[in-house]
Amino acid sequence: MASRSVLTGVGSYLPKRVLSNAELSRRVDTSDEWIVERTGIRERRIAADGEKTSDLACAASVKALEAAGRDAKDIDLVIVATTTPDLTFPATAARVQAELGVSHGAAFDIQAVCSGFIFALATADNFLARGQAKAALVIGAETFSRIMDWEDRGTCVLFGDGAGAVVLEAREDAADRGVISTFLRTDGRMHDLLYVDGGPSETQTVGKVRMVGNAVFRHAVEHISGAMLEACARAGVSLDDVDWFVPHQANQRILDGVARKLGIDVDKVVSTVALHGNTSAASVPLALDVAVRDGRIKSGDLVLMEALGGGLTWGAALIRV
């Protein structure tokens, strides 16, 4: 029987510090009303001074391991999806591996910005399916606050910090559980719609987020909808078969636009955007963890996750939890 990548645990972590719209509107020319109406965001979390992406990733991973009933010694693959690594190198995953006490197998980062978790999940699924690993920690972790231009009202109101993690295990007796299909896509011709204006090779600086927001918005609804349909088609299921939709939490209007376009019941769409903002690669596993822990997503449910981000990158993953 073929091996399946089964999700056995999920966990997340949010920094303590809450940054409200009211506080932001004292820093830049914006208002709570504008942010809520255009994005649905009410507040976001900000990492403390000295709190690194690897710290957030480890905190989320500990909870995911606990939920899976696993120990670090059971893990033989660590993938961290992040755009805000601790350092240019080594990979944040290498630090996470050492910090958690994972002592064998590979650890590496994936950079697909807000789609990073979907790309990391698909990568882990391939490693497990080919027998190259038995149990993977797949993490999305970001300290986006460190690359915000806090004077640019068009971007600084959107993002927040956080981390989410899942344990994926290769199982031959999974029946219909596990990752069923994934779809990944990149179109580098749109790299200048959303990017950071710094990097070691080009500027020797870290840089800040730059975005043509309304253009990204238009691409988001179209490509996310397409990715969701493609992931379902590859699995031979219809959108009606899906129990829960766990989207990347960029903007409530994008979530609503996709639901409207595809005729999805909004009550089946998990939304955490109001309290988390856009946490980039962390947003999908963070939302998944919220809905698993509050009892909405139950064992056996069919869950469709999706994201779009800088690159542009986009993708979707269908999984029976």
Query: Using the 8-state DSSP alphabet, how is residue 270 labeled?
Result: -
| Tokens matching residue 235 | 């699995």
Strands 244-247, 302-309: pairing is parallel
Helices (H), the chain: 21-27, 32-39, 53-68, 92-100, 116-129, 153-156, 213-235, 252-262, 273-276, 283-293
Per the annotation, the verdict on 248 as an active-site residue is yes
Mark 132-151 with x for binding to ligand ACO (rule: CB under 6 A) and - for no binding.
--------------------
Catalytic: which of 114, 223, 251, 276? 114
The reply to whether 34 sits near ligand ACO by the rule CB under 6 A is yes
First to last CA, the chain: 19
Taking CB under 6 A as the criterion, the residue among 45, 95, 153, 208 binding ligand ACO is 153
CB-wise, 40 or 178, nearer to ligand ACO?
40
| Contact set for ligand ACO, span 73-112 (CB under 6 A) | none
- Would you call 104 a catalytic residue per the annotation? no
Looking at the DSSP bridge assignments, the partners of residue 16 are none
Contact residues for 240 (Cβ-Cβ < 8 A; gap 6+)? none
Q: How far apart are CA 125 and CA 202, in angstroms?
A: 33
Tell me the angle at which helices 252-262 and 32-39 cross, rounded to the nearest 10 degrees: 30
Choose which of 61, 272, 278, 279 interacts with ligand ACO (CB under 6 A): 278
Active site residue 232: no
- Cβ distance to ligand ACO smaller for residue 18 or 36: 36
Helix axes 283-293, 116-129, angle to 10 degrees: 80
Nearer to ligand ACO, 177 or 248 (CB): 248
- 34-42, 94-102, 118-126, 226-234 -> range binding ligand ACO (CB under 6 A): 34-42
Does 194 help bind ligand ACO (rule: CB under 6 A)?
yes
Helix (H) or strand (E) holding 88: none
**Are residues 248 and 308 in contact, defined by beta-carbon separation less than 8 angstroms?**
yes
User: Which part of the chain contacts ligand ACO (CB under 6 A), choosing from 4-12, 35-43, 59-67, 257-265?
Assistant: 35-43
List 58, 223, 232, 248, catalytic entry:
248
Q: Which of 154, 198, 207, 226 binds ligand ACO (CB under 6 A)?
A: 154
Query: Contact residues for ligand ACO (CB under 6 A)?
Result: 30, 34-35, 38-39, 114, 153-154, 157-158, 194, 211, 213-214, 216-217, 220, 248, 250-251, 254, 278, 308-309
**Residues designated as active site:** 114, 248, 278
